[in-house]
Amino acid sequence: MNISGEYLSRLQSMEYNHSEARFLYLVATHSGHFTARQFLAFTGQPKGSMLDRFIAHVLDSRHARAIQYGRNTRVFNLFSRQIYGALDKDYLRNRRRLSDELIHTRLLILDFVLAQPDLDYLETESHKLGYFHRQLGIPLSILPGHIYAGIRVLSITKRFFVDRFPIFLIPTRTAPKGCDNIPTFTYCDSYGRNLKPFREHLRRYEAFLRQLPAFDFIYAVPDPGKFDRARGMFQRFFGTRPADSPDDLICYFKVRRLWDEKKYNSLTREDRDLLRAGSARYAAERFRLAYKKWLAGGARDGNLGAVFESDARPPRIGFHTQLLPTRYDIFVRQAGPDYRTAARNRSSISSSTSATSS
């Protein structure tokens, strides 16, 4: 990641040094939350006066606020509009108050980014839309997103890639034709045994990822015991399988027609599974056009093989794992008040910054 010198200069004008400015840029862009341990790991400094000065300054300047957790550990929320405005990122939702679950995930995301800060990240929703929609031409309807209710009655807004998991591009000569870079997607998981959130994430991304000629996926977690199970789940979504045939497509079309006609009682559980899988597999524009033509009676079953011609070469898919450094078991139980004033934070800094390992 090439951080603009102008952004760093703006942060340094607020009395942060170069290392502190780079750290704050990464926090604002990818997480919105950080711990003292993460600051020390990134700057390569031992506990001491540099940490105390940085924490005191970020709190006294009201650039961040602290949340007290168990084991005398604090998590800092970088919330100041002054910071985000200096980075031209005052629209980011990272500065908002979040649930413990989301804060936990954001800290895992920041650990991933701090371990490799120089990758070519697609930092914001705008960057991701620019690459996947405007450059690669993937329809907005396929991109993973979430619909939010607006302030006005009946108004809605769809936001994309709301999970904020890092996505970066790797230039490679082995990329398929028409693809100069291979995008790499990540999922940062907690240390619990439950893989249900990961499965739901793959379901949300499945239709979108199937439109890419190539991609890599990194499953990052602070528990290596989950690696094999996560790999198996990923293989069930994107592993090798028999090639589709026109007969498979016709089966999907018939089930989809029942769904579109709202004949839900006619659908079995197997039909619904076929509909979900087919909606991801056949999301490309050529399949949608073939469906419309089939409904109108203009496409015979035996003539549908042509829509598979561009699928002759299977996509290049890679799966990798990465061990994250910290479990953050402080989230098992929260202790003390959530957001304290800067003055109260400042008065207790000497005792708390010496025990911030999480």
The whole-number average pLDDT for the span 222-231 is 94
CATH class, domain 5-97+339-355, is: mainly alpha
pLDDT the model gives residue 295: 85
Average pLDDT of the residues of the chain: 84
Least confident residue range of 91-100, 151-160, 199-208, 344-353? 344-353
| Top-ranked range on mean pLDDT: pick from 30-34, 234-238, 268-272, 345-349 | 30-34
Q: How far apart are CA 99 and CA 63, in angstroms?
A: 20
pLDDT the model gives residue 351: 42
Q: How many CB atoms lie within 10 A of CB 179?
A: 17
Domain ranges for the chain: 5-97+339-355, 120-240+316-323, 246-311
Q: How far apart are CA 98 and CA 149, in angstroms?
A: 18
pLDDT per position as a tens digit, 102-117: 999 999 999 999 999 9
Q: How many CB atoms lie within 10 A of CB 161?
A: 21
pLDDT the model gives residue 117: 93
Is the pLDDT assigned to residue 355 strictly greater than 80?
no
| Top-ranked range on mean pLDDT: pick from 43-47, 276-280, 310-314, 325-329 | 325-329
pLDDT the model gives residue 269: 82
Tell which wins on pLDDT, 28 or 272.
28
The whole-number average pLDDT for the span 209-218 is 92
Record the tokens describing residue 33, joined without a space: 């939350």
Is the pLDDT assigned to residue 299 strictly greater than 90?
no
Q: How far apart are CA 67 and CA 55, in angstroms?
A: 13
pLDDT the model gives residue 82: 96
| 8 Å CB contact between 325 and 270 | no
Match 């893989």 to its residue by tokens: 195
Is the pLDDT assigned to residue 337 strictly greater than 90?
no
Is the pLDDT assigned to residue 339 strictly greater than 70?
no
Match 């977690």 to its residue by tokens: 221
Least confident residue range of 22-26, 117-121, 270-274? 270-274
Least confident residue range of 52-61, 74-83, 148-157, 276-285? 148-157
Q: How far apart are CA 108 and CA 327, in angstroms?
A: 8
328's enclosing H/E stretch is none
73-78 vs 33-34, strand pairing mode: antiparallel
The whole-number average pLDDT for the span 87-111 is 92
| Top-ranked range on mean pLDDT: pick from 23-27, 41-45, 263-267, 274-278 | 23-27
pLDDT the model gives residue 354: 40
pLDDT the model gives residue 356: 43
CA 115 to chain centre: 16
CB environment 54-81: b (16+ within 10 A), e (fewer): bbbebbeeebbbbbbbeebbbbbbbbbe
Confidence of residue 67 (pLDDT cuts 50, 70, 90): very high
CB environment 85-105: b (16+ within 10 A), e (fewer): ebbebeebebbeebebeebbb
Three-state DSSP at 339 gives: strand
CA 186 to chain centre: 7
Least confident residue range of 174-183, 209-218, 319-328? 174-183
First to last CA, the chain: 27
Is the pLDDT assigned to residue 23 strictly greater than 90?
yes
Q: How far apart are CA 219 and CA 238, in angstroms?
A: 14
